[in-house]
Chains A and B, each alone.
Chain A
Amino acid sequence: MKVLALEDNKELAKSIHDFLSMAGYVCEMAETIAEAKEKLLSFSYDCILLDIMLPDGNGLDVLRFIKAEKISSGVLIISAKEALDDKIEGLEEGADDYLTKPFHLSELHARIRAIYRRKSLDGNNDKLVTFNEISLNTDTFEAFINNNLLDITRKEFDLLMYFMVNKNRVLSRQAIAAHLWGDYTDNLANLDFVYQHVKNLRKKISLVNGTDYIDTVYGLGYRFKSNTPEA
């Protein structure tokens, strides 16, 4: 998958680049709107990460440019602005999703995957995300292990999905909590439920004789371990 990240902060851009490269993506960077437009005209990307506040203008201009040039890439807005009207404006202008800074890289990855799933694949199969014996239906929120329906809650489904998208990455409890409960919970205690949720999920998977891919990484969080590196 090819991603273009339009981000003017060099350190952040490098983080995004490093993480997505590790996940096996081709990640190209642009620091200005002009540079982004040039790249967009010359190459095609599966997903575009778009910052709103840029040195040479507003990122929403790029969104209009993408629309005008009929570029079919998915667009994920990454912005420090979380003013409600900006959010709505971005989505109205054709962005697929909106992520507020500061985000977790694993969250960014999950969002990119979700956009990619929605955008590029139209058949029925695409609602299924599979790994070995595990398959997840993103439409019905059902999980199967060797075609046996797994009895899990919506939050547990989201958690499993998050793990599968971020295979072989250490997911911090903070990142998992933010993914499951969103930005607005004033709940630092959520970290305890992360433990509880992961515990329940692992128990349920082992109940139907699924392989336990989830590893506890001491002091940091969890990792979904797969021996095959992701393509």
Chain B
Amino acid sequence: MKLIDKLTLWIVGVVFLVTPLSMVISYRSIKDNVRQAEIARLKDVNDKVAMQIKAGQPPHQYMLDRPIEIKVVKSMPAQTTHTSNYNFYNTELKREECKLDVISYYSINNKVYSIYTYNYVTRGADILHGMIQALFWKMLLISILVAISARIISRYLLLPFANALKIIQNFSLRQKEKIELTKTNTEEFKQLNFFLKKMTDIALEDYGRVKEFSENASHEVQTPLAVIRTKLELLTETDIRENQAVLIDDMHNAVEKLVKINRSLLLLTKLDNYEFETNESVKFCTITREALHSFENWIQMKNLSITQKIDKEVHLNIHPVLAEILVTNLVSNAIRYNLEDGQIDIKLTKNALTIKNTGLAPEIEPELLFRRFKKSNQSADSIGLGLSIVRQICNVNKFKVCYTYADNLHILKVKFTDEQPGINKPEPANVFKFEENVALA
């Protein structure tokens, strides 16, 4: 629920609560005033009649066709004016009426006269009825006006907030740009903007520092590695014995491994930092085909048979470099951990990439292999970061990846979207086998 809707509801709620209360107060005050005015009028009439009596004139017998009763009473009561107000059913008019009686006492010429007059006044129920009618319209009008004006005013009042939201939504650490928030004189928004600005500035600074650190670290490692590697290369150009050559080769391999670990860790850091955001879409089918193509020789060497079913026009929103690394890692794993004369089954649809391959049963839970440096076979000629990179690429691109082992097959599935069953119609599988020593261009 929007803030403004909540505020509107509260205001309307308060209005609903207060208006009947205020109505009761007004009702009482109106009724009272009406009565007091009528009493005063009747008292004036009584006074006049008393004056007439005092002057010895014949007093009026009627007031507005209503008889005036003049009596002589024994003594003067403590209160010189009695009033009473009551409802009764008027049989003549056949309706409820409200009557107001006023009796005044005068002492004229040593006699005490009571003069009684009455009149009909507006009944409380009538006043109440009118007021309730008015109440309905009043509340309707207030509610509508509150709802409309709240919307109009909120647009103006909440503008700094809306702007801040928009800026924060578009904020990305990668852009390395500090945010500029619109100025406001609302205290709360001032505080919010101040906080947002401070927070994003710190985040930018920290991000910059982390990035700088990882880049510096990689720089510091890569240069000595480059020195070792180039010196080894120069060493091979000198006159060396066979046993020395073997030593150099071992060193080459170790350097190679270091370089790959360093690169892979750096790539993982970059993935963590979301440095590969992209808006372009790539043809994933082409990348998959090219990756397969680049491994032809390896597939050939292990004499693997491949079943591939690659749909056309599979466009995905992913950085091209990542797409390539993703497919390359998956396919090379399927080859590396395969058996001689084994099988690979690759299926690409708009929704998922599934790679199944034969191989030794995993020694550990397949899902654990996504962890860094976890290898099913520790002696394998990989550095053990391939699947971590796969998972990280999937995370960054909001793909889902799962690894299962069933029916003697390793199954790796990358889901691009939440798959809807029955959408992909099966296509005839295209089976071919690479024959040894046949060059494939």
Residues of A at under 8 Å CB distance from B?
Answer: 9, 11-12, 15-16, 18-19, 22, 53, 80-84, 100-106, 151-156, 169-170, 172-175, 181, 183-189, 191-193, 196-197, 200, 204, 217-221
Contacts and interface: CB of A to CB of B under 8 A. Distances in A.
Contacts of A105: 230, 233-234
A187 B259 CA distance: 12
Given A53-B219, A84-B275, A219-B245, A170 B381 contact: no
B329 interface: yes
Contacts of A151: 439
Contacts of B383: 186, 188
Q: What 7 A-B pairs are tightest by C-beta distance, nearest first?
A: A102-B226, A219-B245, A15-B230, A80-B222, A80-B219, A102-B225, A188-B381
B324 A174 contact: no
B215 A83 contact: yes
Contacts of B336: 187, 189
Interface stretch (B101-109, B112-120, B246-254): B246-254
B229 A104 contact: yes
A124 B140 CA distance: 88
Interface in B250-288: 252-253, 255-257, 259-260, 263-264, 266-267, 270, 275-276
A80 B226 CA distance: 9
A102 B260 CA distance: 10
B280 to A, nearest CB: 13
Query: In terms of DSSP, what is the predominant structure of the interface of chain A?
Result: mixed
A193 B259 contact: no
B237 interface: yes
Contacts of A189: 298, 336, 381-382
B198 interface: no
B203 interface: no
Nearest to A53: B219
Interface size class of B (residues with CB under 8 A): 35 or more
Contact of B297 (A22, A80, A82, A155): A155
Given A84-B321, A186-B385, A219-B245, 20 more contacts: A9-B223, A11-B227, A15-B227, A18-B234, A19-B234, A82-B263, A82-B266, A83-B215, A101-B226, A102-B230, A104-B233, A153-B440, A172-B249, A174-B252, A174-B256, A181-B294, A185-B328, A188-B381, A189-B336, A197-B297
B226 A12 contact: yes
Given A80-B219, A81-B219, A220-B248, A101 B294 contact: no
B195 to A, nearest CB: 30
B198 to A, nearest CB: 27
B441 interface: yes
Interface in B200-249: 215, 218-219, 222-223, 225-234, 236-237, 242, 245-246, 248-249
Contact of B332 (A12, A183, A187): A187
B173 interface: no
A84 B229 contact: no
A100 B236 CA distance: 22
Contacts of A53: 219
Contacts of A82: 218, 263, 266
B231 A220 contact: no
Contacts of A186: 260, 264, 329, 332, 382-383, 385-386, 389
Nearest to B328: A185
B325 interface: yes
Interface string B421-441: 000000000000000010111
Contact of A153 (B230, B332, B441): B441
A169 B383 CA distance: 29
Interface in B297-330: 297-298, 301, 321, 324-325, 328-329
B257 A188 contact: yes
Interface in B376-426: 381-383, 385-386, 389
B231 to A, nearest CB: 6
A188 B375 CA distance: 14
B382 A22 contact: no
Contacts of A12: 223, 226-227, 230
30 contacts: A9-B227, A11-B227, A15-B230, A19-B230, A81-B218, A81-B219, A83-B270, A83-B275, A84-B276, A101-B225, A102-B228, A103-B226, A103-B229, A152-B439, A155-B297, A172-B252, A175-B233, A184-B328, A185-B332, A186-B260, A186-B329, A186-B386, A187-B332, A187-B382, A192-B298, A196-B297, A200-B437, A219-B249, A220-B236, A221-B236
Contacts of A80: 218-219, 222-223, 226
A154 B215 CA distance: 34
Nearest to B384: A186
Nearest to B236: A170
Nearest to B300: A196
A193 B298 contact: yes
Contacts of B275: 83-84
A193 B230 contact: no
Nearest to B217: A80
Contact of A19 (B233, B266, B298): B233
A184 B259 CA distance: 10
